[in-house]
Amino acid sequence: MQFVATEHQHRRFNPLNGQWVLVCPHRTQRPWSGQQEKPQKNEVPEFDPSNPLCPGVTRPNGIETPAYESTYVFDNDFPALVEAVPIPPNGDDPLFQIAPARGNCRVMCFHPKSNLTLPTMSAAEIEVVIDEWIRQFNELSATYAWVQIFENKGASMGCSNPHPHCQIWSCSFLPTEPQLKQERLRAYYTTNERPLLADYVERELQRQERIVIENPDWLVVVPFWATWPFETMLISRNNNKRINDLTLEQRQNLARTIKELTTKYDNLFQCSFPYSMGWHGAPTGPEHAHASSAHWTLHAVYYPPLLRSATVRKFMVGFELLAMAQRDLTPEQAAQRLREVDGTRHYLEK
C-alpha cells in the first residue's frame, strides 16, 4: 500500500515549538452527533447603549468611554497583569519555583461601530488599526520584554464583547510560547545562518501547496504543521523583525491582506468566523534592546476553531490534552478551500 497524505494518518513536526502534530484525514468521514455551536452572525446593532466599549457609554467602573471616532485604547478595567505588585520571595525548592510577573493590559477598540468586524471594515480603516498597533508597541516595548497584541473574535473563542476590539498585554518576562520560538529560531539560525521562517517562506513558494494569499510583502499559508483546522500564518517577506519595522507600503499591503484573509474566513461558512490571532516578533525591552534579532521574522498566527461548518468546531480535549495535538483534514486540504473561497467580496455585501 502506498502512503497518501489525504487518506492515511501521519505525524508532522512543528519546528517553531519542537512538537509533533497527529494528522488523521480519514476522520473527516465520521458522522457528527456532538455539540453544535450557534452560528455567529453579524447581528449586532451599530450602537448599543449598554455596551461599555461603545462611544459615550459608562463602563462598570464608572468611567465614561469617550465619543471616539476612530480607534480607542484604554487600560483594561480588570487587568490580568499590573505594574505595582509585590515581588514574591525566592524559593529554595526546585519543585516549587515562583518568579515575579509585572505588566500592563490594554483594550483597543478598532472602530466606534459595534456591528463591524475587520472583514467588514475598509482596508483604509484596517490600516488605522495597524498604525495604532504600532504606536502602542513603540510605547510599551521600551519597558516590557514582550508586547502581545491579540484578538479573540467570537463567543466560541472566549470573546465576551462583540464590539470590534483587541487586547494588548505587556509582560516583564518572556511568556512560554515566545520563549519556545526564541530558542528554536535561534538554534536554527546558529546552524543555518538564515532565519527559519525566511527559509520556510522560500520552501512554501517553491511547493505551492499550502499558500492562501501571496503578495510582495506578505505570505499567508496554512502551516505544514498546523494544529487547528483552518489555522493560518501571515509572514513578513521583508525580513521585518517587529511590527514597528513596517514601512508605509508594507502597512498598506498588510491591511489589504488582513481584509482578504478575514473575508475568506467569513465566506468559508458564511458566518462571522471566530478565531484567536496574535503577532509574534523579536522580544523587546531593556533586556533585549541590544541582543541580536537576526533569527526572528515578524508573523501573525490565526487559530480558528471551526471544522466542518458554522456550527461544528474542533475540540482540543481527550487525546489532544493528554497526549498530543491532532487534526483531521490535512493542511493542504484546508489551504485549498481557503484559497478557492472569495476574499474580495464579503458574503453580506449586497
CATH number of the domain at 46, please: 3.30.428.10
Per-residue pLDDT of the chain (350 residues; tens, 9 = 90+): 899 999 999 999 999 999 999 999 988 665 544 555 555 566 799 999 999 999 999 999 999 999 999 999 999 999 999 999 999 998 889 999 999 999 999 999 999 999 999 999 999 999 999 999 999 999 999 999 999 999 999 988 888 899 999 999 999 999 999 999 999 999 999 999 999 999 999 999 999 999 999 999 999 999 999 999 999 999 999 999 999 999 999 999 999 999 999 999 999 999 999 999 999 999 999 999 889 999 999 999 999 999 888 888 888 899 999 999 999 999 999 999 999 999 999 999 97
Known catalytic residues? Answer: 165
Round to whole Å and give the CA distance between 227 and 327: 6
**What pLDDT score does 42 carry?**
63
What residue numbers bound the domain in which 146 lies?
10-25+42-82+102-340
- How far apart (Å, rounded) are the C-alpha atoms in residues 26 and 24? 6
Cα–Cα distance measured from residue 306 to residue 312, given in angstroms and rounded to the nearest whole number: 6
Please report whether residue 345 resides in a domain: no
SS3 per residue for 6-60: CCCCEEEEECCCCEEEEECHHHHHCCCCCCCCCCCCCCCCCCCCCCCCCCCCECC
What backbone torsions phi and psi does residue 11 show, to the nearest 5 degrees? -115, 150
Residue 36 in any domain: the answer is no
Residue 303 lies in a domain: yes
pLDDT at 32: 44
**Considering the domain boundaries, does residue 203 fall inside one?**
yes
- Asked if the structure places residue 1 within a domain, the reply is no
Cell of 132: 495604532
Non-local CB neighbours of 325 within 8 Å, separated by 6+ positions: 19, 20, 21, 22, 227, 316
**Helices 176-192, 196-207: inter-axial angle, 10-degree rounding:** 80
Q: Is residue 92 part of a domain?
A: no
Residue 93: helix, strand or coil by DSSP? Answer: coil
In a domain, 348, yes or no: no
Q: Is residue 93 part of a domain?
A: no
- Total domains in the fold of the chain: 1
Cβ-contact 225, 21 below 8 angstroms: yes
Q: What pLDDT, on a 0 to 100 scale, did the predictor assign at position 29?
A: 66
